[in-house]
Structure 1
Amino acid sequence: MKLLILLTLFVALAAECKAKEVVCYVMTENDISSKIDKSLCTMIMLSFGTVDAYGNIGLPSNFASYKALRTTNTKVLLALGGANNGKYAFSQIAASATVRATFAQNCLNVVQSNGLDGIDIDWEFPDSNERANFVALHQAVKNKLGSSYLLTTAVSVGKWLLETNNVYDIPGLSATVNFIHLMAYDMHMDEDWDLSAGVNFNAPISANSGDSLNKGIDYWLKGGAPASKLTLGVPFYGRTYQLSDPAKTAPGSPFLMFYQRQDSYKPSYNVYCSRFTSWTKVRDTFTLCPYMYSGSQWTSYEDEQSIIEKAKLANTYNLGGVMSWALNHDDYNGVCSSCKWPLLKALNSGIGRAASCSGSVPVVVTTTTTQKTTTTTKSSSGTGTITTCTSTGYFAYPGDCTKYYQCAWVGYAPYIMACGSGLKWNNQAKYFTLNLITME
């Protein structure tokens, strides 16, 4: 009995030591620092500090308010670069050992003088001839920061960059940084290069053709990145198209180009959630993503259920955690329901952290399969299935101790997960244990 207790405690402690990260990017130009629930983030990325070709660093707006979010359990890092700043500057910095050293020293100065936990480099994106320079830049910064501070980086999961142009030295980068944040979104959009895909999903979990979360994760893992260093990024925003024919609304339908030039092309969750009651909503069972349409407008979006499905991939692949872009897009004021931070709470819930929206229920959508036939999930051993939740919480899967399921809402489908190699679910402890305890 004593051995059993010790083994159970060992597994529990090991699980705690490997608790997954929840990385939260926030755009600092809007000061929502007082609204952020720090318990829902293990890292907060202040986005974005600027860089120039000489290695100088500029601090983002409202920096003082945001850096005060740092606690024992929540680290605060300065994110440098971004989609609209840094590509040219990073290229120039990385090409010179002297400028790399200057930049690295400036990173250390900023971290130490502001009481930060580290630096995040968001270079979007290096060219194929900059593979070595990309790693050299990170190495220079990490060597200067040392083990006392974190260095993380944000990267693409797109085939065009990963395979076609081979821009990342994955083993070299993995050996240098503490975490690699996979920007697993913007896979489809209203651009001429994506015209043949038609209206499509911003961040599909699976896809017969084109990019997907599964493909991106798999590439980084096969390329040599340790799963424990990868965080899976999810979007808190949608992508809107203008349909060529309002009568053709299925994914893949043709669209009119350049609708993105309008302000509404990339709506935040706190904007499009108000459309839930008036637009037609559909959930695709292959990509596990919802979309909605009204008239000629078609939007790929995220909701609590799709965020949980994405977060579950971090468990499936045993990744180091999840990442969100960006906190500003969530319903932090509870405008669309009684729940504040519904997507961030769903992201936490999906990886097993305690967070829920007790006053919120998912919007009912029509379910359809547009790409691939799916079947009802059954246990791999024993008998029994679970198709509808009758109460909320974590439970043993019927007839199979190697699985468990989570019910976030009564009356909706559960989220079924595997315990992991050599582990079984203890329904009394609501925890994994070694193969010595049953699920009774």
Structure 2
Amino acid sequence: MGKLLTLLVALCLSQVIGAERIVNCYWGTWANYRSGNGKFDVSNIDAGLCTHLSYSFFGINDNGDINSLDTWLDYDLGFISQAVGLKRQNPNLKVLAVVGGWNEGSTKYSSMAGDWYKRQNFINSALNLLRNNGFDGLDLDWEYPNQRGGNWDDRSNFVTLLREIKEAFAPYGYELGIAVGAGESLASGSYEIANIAQHVNFINVMTYDFAMASDGYTGFNAPQWAVENAINFWLSQGAPANKLVLGVGTYGHSYQLSDSSQNWPGAPCRGAGNSGPYTGDSGYMGYNEICLNNWYTVFDYNNAAPYAYSGDQWVSYDNVLSVQYKMDFALSKNLAGAMIWSLETDDYRGQCGESYPLLKTINRKLRW
């Protein structure tokens, strides 16, 4: 009997230890419209590198109903069905519909969460979206409760919304995730952390965007200390480690230096850096753009992050080494896993060497 009990305990422990960590791959479907080597569609996705594929984004209308933000791409081109079809390549892949995002704002979500009828509209439309298209769950990316046109009641209303979604999803086995602001000041104003954690399968913590050109000086997009502080804050407020997913940005924030001879972190800048050839947004460059530049590159070990500069252009980003530091921290805290924002700005074509270098680094640390 004693030997049997020991064997059962060992078996249970091995199952816990061997449980696969999450690697959640966000996909900004609009990258289909980029030109040349920046164009990204379903054919560019390696389904074996992700446990979850987060199809971004859907929006809502004023009544709380979920709607497509690009019906031509989602349905006419068949991107949704093609994304769900990736489960033929990886039968364990979960494909999630992501609702929200920065451009959707907060006002409509605040109104929906605070109104019972609009919440029911949202939940019913979510069920229809998932059932009709073969999605495995929903990721709600409200940026952010109690901010950008929201109000203080958003914090408790968000808990109510998530509880009602969870109850509606339970008969179907759908997963429910959320994407959340990372830092203490943002998170404490937007979330009742312990309460929301009860109702979701996992929490994608957006541990990036800690600095940008609007600050007036150069800074690191995701320095290790800021990432660790954010995760430790979420843990301290009652978020279970096994529901926290650490976010990695496959992009950098770029700056135009005020004085090209002052090119260190904290140096003054006069605004956003030049746009990259694929992404086309000033102040923002994909890793697949950064790695092609022959800029002078420095790895700052105090921040466990690289930066690069050329003339009056300066960029902070993540590379393979900085991602390794982040994954070591995630493992040390026994987190649920990691996510990337987003697939289409990793070096998915392998123009600078190995394809998907950042995503593969995450997999090597967490899964392989």
Q: Indicate conservation of the 8 Å contact 1:174/1:226, yes or no.
A: yes
Query: For 1:86-118, what per-residue CA distance to the aligned partner results, in whole angstroms no more than 9, with x for missing partners?
Result: 522211111101110111111111111111110
Q: Indicate conservation of the 8 Å contact 1:308/1:349, yes or no.
A: no
Q: How does 1:172-187 map to 2 (within 5 A)?
A: 172-187=195-210
Q: Indicate conservation of the 8 Å contact 1:21/1:231, yes or no.
A: yes
Q: Indicate conservation of the 8 Å contact 2:223/2:303, yes or no.
A: yes
The 1:103–1:6 alpha-carbon spacing in structure 2 relative to 1, beyond 3 Å, is: closer
- In the alignment, what sits opposite 2:29? 28
Partner Cα distance (1:226, 1:160) in 2:
20
Q: CA deviation at 1:160?
A: 2.8
Query: 66, 85, 96: which is aligned to 2:104?
Result: 85
- In the alignment, what sits opposite 1:156? 181
- In the alignment, what sits opposite 1:317? 333
Partner Cα distance (2:94, 2:187) in 1:
30
The alignment covers a number of residue pairs equal to 337
Q: CA deviation at 1:287?
A: 1.0
- In the alignment, what sits opposite 1:287? 303
RMSD: 1.9
Q: CA deviation at 1:5?
A: 8.1
Q: How does 1:62-141 map to 2 (within 5 A)?
A: 62-70=79-87, 71-127=90-146, 129=152, 130-141=154-165
TM-score, scaled relative to structure 1: 0.73
Q: Indicate conservation of the 8 Å contact 1:80/1:86, yes or no.
A: no
DSSP-derived class of the 1:225 partner:
coil
TM-score, scaled relative to structure 2: 0.87
Query: For 1:143-168, what per-residue CA distance to the aligned partner results, in whole angstroms no more than 9, with x for missing partners?
Result: 211161101000011233124xx220
Any stretches of 5+ residues in structure 1 without a counterpart?
Answer: 207-211, 355-440
Q: How does 1:342-357 map to 2 (within 5 A)?
A: 342-351=357-366, 353-354=367-368
The 1:272–1:264 alpha-carbon spacing in structure 2 relative to 1, beyond 3 Å, is: farther
- In the alignment, what sits opposite 1:326? 342
Q: CA deviation at 1:260?
A: 7.2
Q: CA deviation at 1:73?
A: 1.2
Query: For 1:231-250, what per-residue CA distance to the aligned partner results, in whole angstroms no more than 9, with x for missing partners?
Result: 00010001101111111111
Partner Cα distance (2:110, 2:8) in 1:
53
Q: How does 1:130-279 map to 2 (within 5 A)?
A: 130-146=154-170, 148-163=173-188, 166-191=189-214, 194-195=215-216, 198-206=217-225, 212-259=226-273, 263-275=281-293, 278-279=294-295
Q: Indicate conservation of the 8 Å contact 1:47/1:79, yes or no.
A: yes
Partner Cα distance (1:106, 1:83) in 2:
21
DSSP-derived class of the 2:213 partner:
coil
Any stretches of 5+ residues in structure 2 without a counterpart?
Answer: 33-39, 74-78
Counterpart of 2:27, as a letter, is: V
Partner Cα distance (2:127, 2:8) in 1:
43
Query: For 1:386-439, what per-residue CA distance to the aligned partner results, in whole angstroms no more than 9, with x for missing partners?
Result: xxxxxxxxxxxxxxxxxxxxxxxxxxxxxxxxxxxxxxxxxxxxxxxxxxxxxx
The 1:131–1:346 alpha-carbon spacing in structure 2 relative to 1, beyond 3 Å, is: same
- In the alignment, what sits opposite 1:402? none
DSSP-derived class of the 2:203 partner:
strand
Q: Indicate conservation of the 8 Å contact 1:51/1:86, yes or no.
A: no
DSSP-derived class of the 1:124 partner:
coil
DSSP-derived class of the 2:291 partner:
helix
Identity over the aligned pairs, expressed in percent?
38
Query: 35, 39, 54: which is aligned to 1:45?
Result: 54
Q: Indicate conservation of the 8 Å contact 2:272/2:282, yes or no.
A: no
Counterpart of 1:158, as a letter, is: G
Counterpart of 1:268, as a letter, is: G
Partner Cα distance (2:164, 2:7) in 1:
46
Partner Cα distance (2:302, 2:365) in 1:
19
Q: Indicate conservation of the 8 Å contact 2:273/2:284, yes or no.
A: no
Q: Indicate conservation of the 8 Å contact 2:257/2:271, yes or no.
A: no
Q: Indicate conservation of the 8 Å contact 2:258/2:269, yes or no.
A: yes
Q: Which has the larger radius of gyration?
A: 1
Q: Indicate conservation of the 8 Å contact 1:24/1:44, yes or no.
A: yes
Q: CA deviation at 1:177?
A: 0.8
Q: CA deviation at 1:38?
A: 1.1
Structure with more helix by fraction: 2
- In the alignment, what sits opposite 1:15? 17
